[in-house]
Structure 1
Amino acid sequence: MKQFVSKLILAISSAFIVFSCEKNNNVITPTQTKVVFESSDIPSSIPYTGGKYTLTLKNEVYQTKSVEKPSWGYRIKYDGEVKKSMEFTASATSLEIEIEANPTAAQRQIVVEFASNTQSEDWKEVAKATQEFNPELLPQNHVLVVVGQEYLKDKGFYDAVAWMDGKRFAFTNGEHDSFCNAVCTYKDSVFVAACEAVGELVHDEWYGDYNENNGVVYSFKIGEEANFKRTVYSDVKGKSTASGVAYSNGNIYVSGFDSPSIDRRALYWKNSEKHELTDGSTDALAYCIAADGDDVYVGGYIQSKDFKKEGAAVIWKNGVAQKLTGDGILAKVNKIVIEDGHVYAAGAYRDVLNGTTWQGALWIDGELTLFTEPASVEVGGLYVKDGKWIVNGTMTLSTEEITAYNWYSDGTAEQLIPNSDMCQGLGVTKIGDDVYSLANMYYYTEDYDMFSKSYVLKNKEAIEMQVNSPEDFTFWGLDVANF
């Protein structure tokens, strides 16, 4: 009998269910072994080549009335998606798992989850790491795209122009007034927000007859500029402006505003479908736009209905307004960037109750940082990478010099063109470690006619740009096409 019981215990143990027999009444009480996670040697940063790592486990025996074999296991998530899942029934004190090589040119998040009982879905996160990107898959081509306008003296109009690595391409060739406001890129595709004087005909005794501006988008691929697509947003009232552009998940988003009455109305378009952000009952402007997946963020301002000197900086997420400032403040969002789920919004902030002038403002997920003293600051550009930011804009110095600046997240600032009486900062980006900034100088003739001359600065040094009208041209925006 003892030999038979020993063989029974041995046989059931191999299936990791152990039965014991009480001495007095011979009642058999089953027990099970639970495999529990203890630790792992997975580091916080994993090389792009991946690697093999060890989970250290322990076995806990407990009594149960169930004779069903429980299973335990682990699964690996790459950027939130389960890519590998394994289950076991035999007990173990350690387990080797493998993180696959990263096949992309972007970092990705690795999460390892463990369950002592996979049937009950008791998955718990036991390790989390960032896997580096594959440097061999980084884009091999970088094209700096700059957009703006040139005055064509022989035709009397401004021409909407884009420059690819300094090479000029004109969209309208002086057919009517036009200018580019902003640009975004996706791989080798380029999207330009612009305005053209193709709207309603206006009869004006002082200026004569002219057409209102309408928002326009030009889209093309690098090297195929001549085949650009032109989309006019004509479903507006009065003059309209396309102020910003973004691209995500195959959709083109454009911020802007129109003028149904005296006050302007903030808008955005998704693939030419108009979405009204305000009703026109008080002045509102949409200056910029960004997209993250299917979420769209528009930055701008809404004037107070009761106190016209006040106005709130606003971010509209999917059409719903979030005011960033309260009473007694006049503020606006000029540029917006989304990185790793965080919303960076740069603009200007003014305490009207205390009579201060404009300060540089940066909101990160709604939290305000004033990065300048009151100095008539205007923001023209915002760049964010790995949580570090650069804001480009304009500031009036104590000498009354109006000049272009870059402000950095480490608290430093640099004047882009020293000894410049009237210089405006209009954009900033980076290629590698090099900072590219836009600065625009304004001049007056003896007859007080104003004209402008712009610069693309690489680490504060001007680079060569092809222009047809060197006496009057402006760069309004820039981005980098990586492909």
Structure 2
Amino acid sequence: MKRTFLATCIVASLLTSCSKDDDTDTQPAFKVYAAFNESATAQGYDYVGRVWKDGTVSNLISSYSVSGFFVDGNDVYASGSKSFADGSSVVLLWKNGKADTLAKTISQATSAAIWVANKDVYVTGSVYQKETKSVVAKVWKNGVATNISDGQYLATATDIMVAGSDVYVTGREATAPNGQKNVAKIWKNGKGVALTDATFYASAETVFVSGNDVYAGGFEANSIDKTVAKIWKNQSPITLTDGTNNAFVSDLFVNGNDVYACGSEEIGRYSKAMVWKNGVATALTDGTNKAQASYIVIKDGDVYVLGYEKEGNIDVVKLWKNGKATALSDPTKNGIGEGLFVK
């Protein structure tokens, strides 16, 4: 994400459907929210946060890019960060367009993902500490920051999910000062567990909790320096790709006994947007352009995926429903998907 490869915020318990009239064939009327960043100018990379809701695009936040997105009832939350020419940065949280500052530092700071549970707002991200020359992974709960890494080596938070009273964060953490060796990691209530052994570079990009099972998705490099798309279920790895091409998982969704993942796999110079269901791969694109699937939601048997596909020189944000794509962003401006909800 995110990103990192990507970043995310989806919750099964929020995906409530409307009732169907038994006397008609009318399908449930779901609301689909998709957050994305769009370049302010053609070919530009100064992004502005936007939201697509049932076919209508509006500004989500102005002058900042979105890195976290969450919909709770009628409230729309976003988080983002911005760096300035003097090296300082700011991390902000928006609720229905109104901003609140989470962190303002003289060094680099980023937000990665956001979660709302029982009106408590959780944001995860990372802050560079000049005094130790390291990056610390953090969680802000209602604006109050807590470190979840010890600051010894570089740590990056990528995603967050709250289940009951437990707060889960995924990411990666270096095991040496130069940051070249690192592990994919998951933190539960601030206590970290490594998912890999630092033999190869790895990262956990997303987390999903279903019942007593905790899933993380991401990638781990192999001996030929290719990244392998992986899921960790209760810390045990599940390999999705054979390691001949670079691939990664960017988001997860568990629906009953079915485990869905989305991401990307390189095909030569290009890449396919991918969905894996219980390990079985389906390509959303044909591999003739660069493409990535970033977020996935399953609702009443329908599979919604947010990502992008390059058209010419432009990255166009797309929403796939059961494999059929709809373009969301301006086809003359670069776009990046940053969050998906179906309610």
What TM-score do the two structures reach when normalised by structure 2?
Answer: 0.83
Of residues 287, 299, 308, the one that matches 1:440 is 308
- Secondary structure of the structure 1 residue equivalent to 2:197: coil
| 1:257–1:264 contact (8 Å) kept in structure 2 | yes
Q: Provide the residue aligned with 1:185 in structure 2.
A: 71
Q: Provide the residue aligned with 1:32 in structure 2.
A: none
The 3 A distance-change label for structure 1 pair 247 and 387 is: farther
- Secondary structure of the structure 1 residue equivalent to 2:288: coil
The reply to whether residue 383 of structure 1 matches residue 253 of structure 2 is yes
Deviating runs (4+, > 6 A) in structure 1?
Answer: none
The reply to whether residue 477 of structure 1 matches residue 325 of structure 2 is no
Of residues 440, 459, 462, the one that matches 2:325 is 462
Q: Provide the residue aligned with 2:8 in structure 1.
A: none
| 2:79–2:94 contact (8 Å) kept in structure 1 | yes
The 3 A distance-change label for structure 1 pair 325 and 249 is: same
Of residues 278, 283, 289, the one that matches 1:415 is 283
The reply to whether residue 272 of structure 1 matches residue 143 of structure 2 is yes
Deviation of 1:300 (Å): 0.3
| 1:188–1:481 contact (8 Å) kept in structure 2 | no
Q: Provide the residue aligned with 2:296 in structure 1.
A: 428
The letter of the residue matching 1:396 is E
The 3 A distance-change label for structure 1 pair 157 and 442 is: same
| 1:193–1:254 contact (8 Å) kept in structure 2 | yes
Q: Deviations over 1:177-233 (max 9, x none)?
A: x211232333333322323x3x5x434xxxxxxx7443222223xxxxxxx332222
| 1:377–1:393 contact (8 Å) kept in structure 2 | yes
The reply to whether residue 152 of structure 1 matches residue 21 of structure 2 is no
Q: Provide the residue aligned with 2:24 in structure 1.
A: none
The reply to whether residue 317 of structure 1 matches residue 317 of structure 2 is no
Deviation of 1:141 (Å): 5.1
Of residues 196, 199, 202, the one that matches 2:85 is 202
Kindly tell me the number of residue pairs found equivalent between the two proteins. Answer: 318
The reply to whether residue 331 of structure 1 matches residue 202 of structure 2 is yes
The reply to whether residue 254 of structure 1 matches residue 123 of structure 2 is yes
Uncovered stretches (5+) of structure 2, i.e. residues with no partner: 1-12, 14-18, 21-27
- Secondary structure of the structure 2 residue equivalent to 1:435: strand
Deviation of 1:284 (Å): 1.0
The reply to whether residue 239 of structure 1 matches residue 108 of structure 2 is yes
* Separation in 2, partners of 1:475, 1:430: 21
- Secondary structure of the structure 2 residue equivalent to 1:419: coil
- Secondary structure of the structure 1 residue equivalent to 2:196: coil
> Over alpha carbons, which structure has the higher Rg?
1
| 2:69–2:339 contact (8 Å) kept in structure 1 | yes
Q: Provide the residue aligned with 2:274 in structure 1.
A: 405
* Separation in 2, partners of 1:412, 1:164: 30
Uncovered stretches (5+) of structure 1, i.e. residues with no partner: 1-105, 107-134, 204-210, 221-227, 446-450
Aligned ranges 1:108-127 → 2 under 5 Å: none
* Separation in 2, partners of 1:172, 1:184: 14
What TM-score do the two structures reach when normalised by structure 1?
Answer: 0.60
The 3 A distance-change label for structure 1 pair 158 and 401 is: closer
Percent of pairs identical after alignment?
Answer: 19
Q: Provide the residue aligned with 2:240 in structure 1.
A: 371
Of residues 143, 165, 168, the one that matches 1:294 is 165
Higher relative contact order (CA 8 A, sep 6+): 2
The reply to whether residue 395 of structure 1 matches residue 265 of structure 2 is yes
